[in-house]
Chains A and B, each alone.
Chain A
Amino acid sequence: MSKKTDSNIYTLIFATGMVLVVGTLLAFLASSLKPTIDENKRIEKQQNILYAMGVNDNDESSAIFVSKDKVGEEFSKYITKQLVIQGGKITEDDNAYLIDVKKEQTAEKEGKERKFPLFVGEKDGKTFYIAPIRGKGLWDAVWAYVGMDEDMVIQGAYFDHKGETAGLGANIKLRFFMDDFIGEHLKKDGAFKGIAISKSNNDPKNEDKIDNEVDAIAGATITGDGVSAMIKSELKKYVSFFNTLKTN
């Protein structure tokens, strides 16, 4: 005897019903939580930018952002200018940090003039220039906020990723990797060279700051190569801005 749940009609009705219920539930949840999620993302961007200029609550070994409730205040205290560089023109925009780098990269590919956000921070009399960059890791996107001085020497960096392997590529967002970048020169003999994530660096304590190399992470070769490529191609686009700083 066949059960009533075996009939085609029932199967169709069940499938439609299930899709409707699940679809409605998820759509409702997603749209009602969206404002909270977007706010979290906005706060995170401010935290990342501050991190790259050394404003953070780091303890001895882990990377800790300034707390959520303080971040807005600190952001307006330390970030003095937010610039947008577009086709050689530089404008100020207080919401430049909300520019979506991914969208701008797509625009660039389509032949449009890309907007490059750059954040200028002041701390203890020093000026920091923080650039958001984005590239490809092994599985998905990797991105970073890189804080530099006017000679393009890195003062701080925050790396993050969407889906790199836990324990391997995902370690780019750990202190031992990010801290290696501090003090590294992006230029060599006056010309932009970038920083390579190198397996043959042979400098585990990272004492050589002008070799344009930092130590790679074991088991994360492709993520490392992605980070190298991202630094090289993306930060290069800011070189002309840093050159104008010199001539003024």
Chain B
Amino acid sequence: MGLLSKKDAALITDPFADNNPITIQVLGICSALAITAELKASIVMAISVLFVMGVGNIVISLMRNIIPSKIRIIAQLIVVATLVIIVDLVLKAFQYELSKTLGAFIGLIITNCIIMGRFEAFALANGPWRSFLDGIGNAVGYGVILILVGFFRELLGSGTLLGYKVLGDPIEKTGVYAFGYENNGFMLLAPMALIVVGIIIWIQRSRNEALIED
């Protein structure tokens, strides 16, 4: 039977494809638009959210029987905010360079509605182990889309990947630029992130009829 039962494994694999938080549930769009202009930022954000969701889901799940339902949203928000601030402080003290890279993301992690969404929809009703898997699954599903969008936006917008000039130098006119290719500056702007996400949704739905709504 392996490490995970079938039901548990589905918690990880579902959000990855047919229940993807971005393309199917359409959550977390704000951060998907804001930080995907380059691949590196997308990867950093994906890892940060993976951590916060994994740990956050466990904490909320452990507290699920003592949190009063009237203030559960506030309690969830406090848990996310606390986790993020702890990570931020520890990084500032021991990994200063990394913390500077992450600085801009801190606020975006706290407000990421996928995190709140999974707390509310899953961790409040399930045990810590399953909640942890659900958190990891959704964070990976989110991260994959983020990295995909970041990949296309950086490649087509700046002609680079992770800062490396993979298409040649646009100013010296080497590589593909020698044939008259130009970077599409529009890719760097937020609307194009939405369009790229839209195209991913389109491809995904056209391949899987079960996802098509009337």
Show the binding face of A for B, using Cβ within 8 Å: 3, 5-6, 10-11, 14-15, 18-19, 22, 25-26, 29-30, 33, 36-37, 40, 44, 61-62, 162-168, 170, 174, 204-205, 218-219
Contacts and interface: CB of A to CB of B under 8 A. Distances in A.
A167 B75 contact: no
A162 B188 contact: no
Question: For chain A, what secondary structure do more than half of its interface residues adopt (helix, strand, loop), or is it mixed?
Answer: helix
Contacts of B154: 167
B206 interface: no
Question: For chain B, what secondary structure do more than half of its interface residues adopt (helix, strand, loop), or is it mixed?
Answer: helix
B158 to A, nearest CB: 8
Interface of B: 34-38, 41, 65-71, 74-75, 78, 82, 85-86, 89-90, 92-94, 96, 103-105, 107, 153-154, 157, 163, 171, 185, 188-189
Contacts of A205: 171
A30 B89 contact: yes
A15 B107 CA distance: 23
Contacts of A219: 37, 185, 188-189
A6 to B, nearest CB: 6
5 contacts: A11-B70, A26-B82, A30-B89, A163-B107, A167-B37
Contacts of A10: 68
Given A37-B93, A62-B163, A163 B103 contact: yes
A18 B94 contact: no
B79 to A, nearest CB: 8
B188 A22 contact: no
A44 B99 CA distance: 13
A167 B38 contact: yes
A166 B37 contact: yes
B90 A33 contact: yes
Contacts of B78: 18-19, 22
Contacts of B92: 33, 37, 40
A33 B82 contact: no
Given A18-B78, A22-B78, A36-B94, A29 B68 contact: no
Given A218-B185, A218-B188, A14 B68 contact: yes
Given A5-B68, A22-B82, A33-B92, A167 B41 contact: yes
A164 B35 CA distance: 10
Contact of A14 (B37, B67, B93, B94): B67
Contact of B37 (A19, A61, A165): A165
The 5 closest A-B pairs by CB, nearest first: A167-B37, A167-B38, A166-B41, A219-B188, A36-B93
B82 A25 contact: yes
B72 to A, nearest CB: 10
Nearest to B75: A18
A44 to B, nearest CB: 7
B41 A14 contact: no
